[in-house]
Amino acid sequence: MTSQRVTITDVGPRDGLQNQPKILTIDERLMLVRAIATAQVPRIEVGSFVSPKAVPAMAGTDLIFDALAAQSSFQTPTVALIPNMKGYEFARDAGAEAVTMVLYASDGMAQKNAGMNMSEAEDVTVDILRQANQEGIQVIATIAVAFECPFDGPTDPTIVQRTVGKFLQSEVSQVVLADTIGAADPQQVRDLTSTLIKSHGGERLGCHFHDTRAMGLANVYAALESGIRHFDSSIGGLGGCPFAPGASGNVATEAVVMMLEQMGFDTGIDLPLLLDASDLAQTLTGAVSGGRSKVWLQTQLQKQAL
Amino acid sequence: MTSQRVTITDVGPRDGLQNQPKILTIDERLMLVRAIATAQVPRIEVGSFVSPKAVPAMAGTDLIFDALAAQSSFQTPTVALIPNMKGYEFARDAGAEAVTMVLYASDGMAQKNAGMNMSEAEDVTVDILRQANQEGIQVIATIAVAFECPFDGPTDPTIVQRTVGKFLQSEVSQVVLADTIGAADPQQVRDLTSTLIKSHGGERLGCHFHDTRAMGLANVYAALESGIRHFDSSIGGLGGCPFAPGASGNVATEAVVMMLEQMGFDTGIDLPLLLDASDLAQTLTGAVSGGRSKVWLQTQLQKQAL
């Protein structure tokens, strides 16, 4: 039996760093992106083009893209998160191969995060999609608060179903369900993802979990059971959302990779090098690594090295 | 729809404390047991009757039972872990309502932990069972290293299937699959538990997970999906196994309860009082609580109190 491929996008350099108290320099951010790429992570969200006033940690993302473009050995596909058409133009001009545009499953979060309502964010995404298709740039549509919103409470799954249906009919490369504040339980994840996969298949669906309630890996497993094969995760479990109270770190890339590989999936990722990247994330940010399985993983690797 | 009941046995005062560097006094151990009982946890493994030389933290378990028996308000069913017939006699004389006898799915672990092989441990359990039935004491048979052994490697599932089958045909009150070193992934758990439930039903089957690789809750979810409705867990995620290298804490009771209740199951446990017990566990042992969702839970409770 050929093992099934699962693809990971590491969002640590964006989702991870934007919520750390310590703001990294451009060089430090580059070091982190390169370390993740060295571990053969297949795609990296390297930064966002948002207002540097709102998210100071993401100022200078264009410089990151410039430096990576100048490095011929750097071959990892890169993504930039964008909030609107202006962000898209910045990302395009910087040379991003893909952009993540954020959609919302609640008006409360759309308003707080982007100053729009749900429907306005969809309209903006449709415009960006049209432009991006002409310009050969992939668009990932990430649906924030797909399970629960810190302002509007539990999300109505039919809103998510409608949005997913609408955008999977378009030219988006992927639709990602984001549990922005880490509120979902595995039963909710299983129910929503299996319903969506029944209607649309799983090819272009992904999931993005936070580990706020320690259910991150349980949610990854539940989504896998439904047939999801794309996941966002963050090196060292760094993460959060500056506009979502109660959000803590993303599920750690090293924890997800360990579980997937043990279950017989193929991620293509080099786990020892991934742990090096996790160590670097910890050193650079001063954050205690949220990768809860790391102690165990490191012990194992030390044993193997003996 | 009536919500389904899931029953939790808190093994913190036994599995949790036996592996802490700090040895608690009898009074401290009693405080912890009482705090867990106050939170309405339906069953507590309050200690073990093993050699105090091998496990000094469990010396004086008879005094714990004496004190609980003298307290008329204490109504929570209690369990004692025993390694052999001598341990059984101590537990019976101390007034334990149930005993946990350990079976093994590997000879390596049986030898290290009990100085017997698998088959000898089964014979001892059969003898104890005969005696316990006459004396009105329940026997829980816990199969150690049901997924992987630190000495013999991955466990052959057919060994577990055979042992479960044999003991479910006897008068044991429950057979518990223990992932002693926290090595299982949710796919393994799903496969083994669904096979067992197909043959035997789930009524008298339980699971006992450690969070070594951060997959504790994912494994609980996988077992729930198969139909398991009994779980061991440990207050504050305290735990480990003194004879199993690489074992870290049990899955935290507060994390399991939170996930179960959010998924609509009924545990009958008072979560705020459970967090108080977890705080106490942390204060008494000096261990950093392994209950990874606790920060989030406490924030929520503070919010509700405002």
Query: Can you give the pLDDT at residue A294?
Result: 63
What global pTM score does this model have?
0.93
Q: What is the pLDDT of residue B1?
A: 45
- Interchain contact, B218 vs A213, CB within 8 Å: no
Contact A211 B263 (CB under 8 A): no
Q: Is A264 on the interface with B (CB under 8 A)?
A: yes
The CATH classification number of A7-305 equals: 3.20.20.70
Catalytic residue among A35, A149, A241, A271: A241
The pLDDT tens digits of the residues spanning A171-227 come to: 999 999 999 988 999 999 999 999 999 999 999 999 999 988 889 999 999 999 999
For helices B216-226 and B186-200, the axis angle rounded to 10 degrees is 30
C-alpha–C-alpha distance, residues A184 and A219, integer Å: 7
Tell me the nearest-neighbour CA distance from B103 into chain A, angstroms.
26
Rounded-to-integer distance, Cα A198 and Cα A170, Å:
18
- C-alpha distances in Å from residue B21, one per residue of A166, B17, B56: 57, 9, 10
Q: What gap in Å lies between CA A172 and CA A198, rounded to an integer? A: 19
Which residues of chain B does A212 touch, with a Cβ-Cβ cutoff of 8 Å? 293, 296
This complex has an ipTM of 0.91
pLDDT digits (tens, 9 = 90+) for B54-101: 899 999 999 999 999 999 999 999 999 999 999 999 999 999 999 999
Pick the residue from chain A with its C-alpha nearest to B219: A218
Active site residue A149: no
How does strand A43-48 pair with strand A7-10? parallel
Contact present, B163 and B122 (Cβ < 8 Å): yes
Compute the distance between CA of residue A51 and CA of residue B212 in angstroms, rounded to an integer.
Answer: 40
Structure confidence at residue A19 as a pLDDT band (50, 70, 90): confident
A105 touches chain B (CB under 8 A): no
Asked if pLDDT for residue A32 goes beyond 50, the answer is yes
Distance of CA B155 to the CA centre of its chain: 20
| Token reading at A297 | 């993983």
